[in-house]
Amino acid sequence: MLYFLMSKYQSVRGTRDLLPDVKQMFRRIDEIAYKTAKNYGFKEIETPIFEFSEVFHRSLGETSDAVAKETYTFTDRGGDSITLRPEGTAGVARSFVSEGLAQLVPLKLYYCGPMFRYERPQKGRYRQFSQFGVEILGLESPLADVECLDLAWTIIKKLNLAEKCILEINTLGDAESRNSYRTALVEYLKPFYEKLSSDSKIRFEKNPMRILDSKDESDKKIVAGAPIMENFLNESSKKFFNDVLAGLKQLNIPYKVNPQLVRGLDYYCHTVFEFTTTELGAQGAVLSGGRYDGLVEMLGGPKTAGVGFAAGVDRLADLCAAGLALSPRAPVSVLALGEKALVEAVKIASLLRNQDKYCEVFLTGNLKKKLEKANKLGTEKAILIFEQESGTFEYKLKNFGSGEEITGTLESILKAID
């Protein structure tokens, strides 16, 4: 019966079950990313999935979409306002402050896990999605940005996605540069105020630079003629950006400067970047990040530089679907004929699994069916167990490649499997 059509229980809109094949891909992506990050000196951290709402309001900014429209916020039974994390950076910065990690700088941290945003679901955009990300805390040098970008690019190459992704990069400059740019932008936008979308009217009052990021078509036309940040950078901001770009050139990391790139979260300064692809429709950003030197201070900590990125694992998995070899492990299969032989098979399988071997034992079906199943799983070697009239067992080692079967003692067969 098609029970799934009859069930009134579906996963919540924008969420999905990661069935084994997809979940395997997610795990593999996390493994590759984490292994690579470890080579760059990053250590793993896990922060809670929910925080006091204030952590995100202060970090991401009241006008960021992530906070204004997309958070899952609720009052818990103790009366506290709680938010499911929409991203990982704010939680890491909060942890940096509340755990007193300032004395350990420079700190290089890696994380991976689910994030929650109440966005309109579409391909590549979910309400629960997974990110892996890295944060470097306590390094002011533009070479820290370069190191982050190098790590991102290495992971993308390891996932065989270099051909499909391009790095877009921009600078927001330091506070002084941003202030003079903001003034010029407001002057430019004033005459267009009535034509701006309702969201952008609010941004105009609170954070006009976010209008550059608007997805509204009429806003986009207005923004096309806006002054560009580059012309408002002071000397030190210019030097910072040029140093980042020079580092990318040294490391042969291809990039495109995109002056319209401002990013959706308020905590950024200086470098902002996105690795984008044209292969995922509207949701083209697969990995994004930037520098956030003021964030830790905003959360009540000491002045601490920060730079990092996060990648959307769901999007990477979609992109990888065909290209990433998942290197399936071939099991040792244990096949038994007869009820007692089956118990013996379970015992032998347990022995092999205790030695860290991937082992499959088949509990149902006749021998022919079991051989077919073992073959389907890519078995190279199988142990066949036959019950004898005397109550003892006969053991055979079957090589699936050559079709050869050798009878022997259990010890000799286990040895041959090693």
Closest contact distance (angstroms) between CB of 13 and ligand HAM is 12
**Is residue 119 a contact point for ligand HAM (CB under 6 A)?**
yes
- What are the helix (H) ranges across 355-409? 367-376
288 part of the interface to ligand HAM, by CB under 6 A: yes
Rounded to a whole number of angstroms, the minimum distance from the CB of residue 39 to ligand HAM is 19
Site size toward ligand HAM (CB under 6 A) is 27
Nearer to ligand HAM, 253 or 397 (CB): 253
x/- letters, 157..186, toward ligand HAM (CB under 6 A)? ------------------------------
The residue whose two tokens read 């300032």 is: 102
Phi/psi region, residue 356 (left: phi>0; alpha: psi -120 to 50; beta: rest), is: left
Indicate whether 315 belongs to the interface with ligand HAM (CB under 6 A): yes
- How far is it, in rounded angstroms, from Cα 25 to Cα 321? 8
Q: Is 167 left (phi over 0), alpha (psi -120 to 50) or beta?
A: beta
Q: Does 45 bind ligand HAM (CB under 6 A)?
A: no
Of residues 88 and 294, the one with the C-beta less far from ligand HAM: 88
240 SS3 class: helix
Regarding 310 and contact with ligand HAM (CB under 6 A), the answer is yes
Encoded one letter per residue, x for contact with ligand HAM by CB under 6 A and - for no contact, window 73-112 reads: --------------xxx-----------------------
| CA-based nearest residue to 139, from 364, 291, 28, 341 | 291
Among residues 58, 108, 117, 203, the one that binds ligand HAM under rule CB under 6 A: 117
Which among 177-185, 281-289, 364-372, 403-411 is the span making contact with ligand HAM, rule CB under 6 A?
281-289
Q: Checking DSSP bridges between strand 381-387 and strand 332-337, what pairing results, if any?
A: parallel
Q: Mask: binding to ligand HAM, 289-308, rule CB under 6 A, as x and -?
A: xx-x---------------x
Q: In which residue are the tokens 């036959």 written? A: 386
Out of 30, 51, 135, 387, the residue judged to bind ligand HAM by CB under 6 A: 135
Buried/exposed code over 88-100 (b: 16+ C-beta within 10 A; e: otherwise): bbbbbbbbbbeee
Contact track, ligand HAM, 238-277, x by CB under 6 A: --------------------------x-------------
Yes or no: say if 280 and 286 are a contact pair by the CB < 8 Å rule: yes
C-alpha 186/C-alpha 192 separation (Å) is 10
Nearer to ligand HAM, 57 or 117 (CB): 117
CB-nearer residue toward ligand HAM: 126 or 395: 126
129 lies in the binding site for ligand HAM (CB under 6 A): yes
- Cα 217 to its chain centre, rounded Å, is 29
Comparison of 94 and 398: residue with beta carbon closer to ligand HAM? 94
CB of 86 to ligand HAM, least distance (A): 7
Region binding ligand HAM by CB under 6 A among candidate stretches 3-11, 124-132, 162-170, 226-234: 124-132
Q: Which of 57, 125, 203, 398 binds ligand HAM (CB under 6 A)?
A: 125
Beta bridge partners of residue 83, listed in sequence order: 51, 73
Under rule CB under 6 A, residue 287 binds ligand HAM? yes
Q: Where are the beta strands (DSSP E) in 144-225?
A: 166-171
When the beta carbons of 211 and 319 are compared against ligand HAM, the nearer one is 319
Angle at 37 between CA 118 and CA 290, to 5 degrees: 50
Please list, residue by residue across 307-323, b when 16 or more beta carbons sit within 10 angstroms of its beta carbon and e when fewer do.
bbbbbbbbbbbbbbeee
Task: Note whether 379 binds ligand HAM by CB under 6 A.
Answer: no
Q: Which residue is nearest to ligand HAM (CB)?
A: 312
Q: Smallest gap, in angstroms, from Cβ of residue 50 to ligand HAM?
A: 16
CA distances to 115, 153, 334, 342, 373 from 376, rounded to whole Å, are 36, 36, 14, 20, 5
73-75, strands of its sheet edge to edge: 50-52, 81-84, 73-75
133 forms part of the interface with ligand HAM (CB under 6 A): yes
The dihedral over CA atoms of 276, 165, 116, 321, expressed in degrees to the nearest 10, equals 140
Judged by the rule CB under 6 A, the positions of this chain that interact with ligand HAM are 87-89, 117, 119, 124-126, 129, 131, 133, 135, 264, 285-290, 292, 308-312, 314-315
